[in-house]
Amino acid sequence: MVHRPIYLDCHATTPVDPRVVEVMLPYWTESMGNPSSVGHLYGWEATSAVSHARDCLAQAIHATPEELIFTSGATEANNLAIKGVAEAYFSKGQHIITVTTEHSAVLEPCRYLKTLGFEITELPVQTDGIVDLAVLEQALRSDTVLVSVMAANNEIGVLQPLAEIGALCHERGILLHSDAAQALGKIPLDVETMQIDLLSMTAHKVYGPKGIGALYVRRRNPRVQLAPQLHGGGQEKGLRSGTLYPPQIVGFAQAVDLAIAELEDESERLTQLRDRLWHSLQSLGDVHLNGHLHQRLPGNLNISIEGVDPQGLMLGIRGDIAVSSGSACASAAAQPSHVLKAIGRSDRLAQASLRFGLGRFTTESEVDTATTVVLETVRSLREICSQVQHKTSKLSP
């Protein structure tokens, strides 16, 4: 049997929980109707399933079912939110604020809008990865139509102060969008108390299927206007045309239901595992924690290690543990992580980073094994580096 590495990359994606697969199966084979086919039983079954799922997802973020628009994932939801607001509110202003550490699914739509004449402000973060509220407040202008700040960072796990940001925006009549792809089901989210106007979600970060997500769009105080980015049959109130996919939608709702039900206990368990891992890795010395020590996702640990070759580090561990260096979307690139650069890490430290994403099926034994692998690999690489430096110094005149 082929040896498979221990999976510790749950910020990239998660395995689908068997309990999620179970509820999805009938909608591929038995209740396989199109929710738009309202003239027969199969369509009614699909419509009912989608409606129930919408109710469950809305309840998870304290929204109403009518405020949820299903999408193919968080990337589409982010694009619909940002481009949709920009187009709908064009006459009000063309200034949008976001943050340098956002996911590319937020930064790239913003940069696209810049080519159309919009002014984009990318706020810096502090060394712990958190936005300075005073800097944000100073950046707000009379022509600012949208602020986009993610709930939890996909690389360093940092949690942004959304409630405070929401209050600042609403005082000035500015809309707040948040990419909550990493946060949904892992921390409490309440769009009302946090004063969030648009919220992007996805299923595959929370033990659901890939290819399904949703966008929350506030309908009151204020009622958010959006320009659709996909045109067709007029599904999802005309904001996102395309045939709805009941198996994925049902799985999405089940995944979130399970995550919310288990949130408190799972958060405590993952925090203990994460702290156990961090405590052990500190024995290496010259190891830097990336991001705030406490204000972060329970299962996230992102570190930079001095005195190692970045490529050698990944090559040394990848046969035993599956982790990322930076985000999954950019880990194949040669450039250092823009998130780690934004918090002040050098190119070398940014490249010599490891992102551990602990999840629902991660065990204490796996964490201990991963710790041993990293400790042995780093010590071996440092010894090789020391020997090379010693030989080099002896050859120097």
β-bridge partners, 68: 216
d(CA 313, CA 333): 16
Going by the DSSP 8-state scheme, the letter that residue 192 receives in this structure is: T
Going by the DSSP 8-state scheme, the letter that residue 229 receives in this structure is: S
- Helix, strand or coil, per DSSP, at residue 199: strand
Residue for token pair 């999840």? 359
Distances (CA, A) of 164 to 87, 134, 136, 195, 231: 26, 11, 11, 9, 36
| Torsion angles phi and psi, residue 239, rounded to 5 | -85, -20
Please, are residues 270 and 70 in contact by the beta-carbon 8 Å criterion? no
* Residue among 56, 169, 329, 385 flagged as catalytic: 329
- Helix, strand or coil, per DSSP, at residue 301: strand
Please, are residues 133 and 164 in contact by the beta-carbon 8 Å criterion? yes
Catalytic (active site) residue 329: yes
Residue type, 328: A
d(CA 156, CA 67): 30
Please give the positions annotated as active site: 329
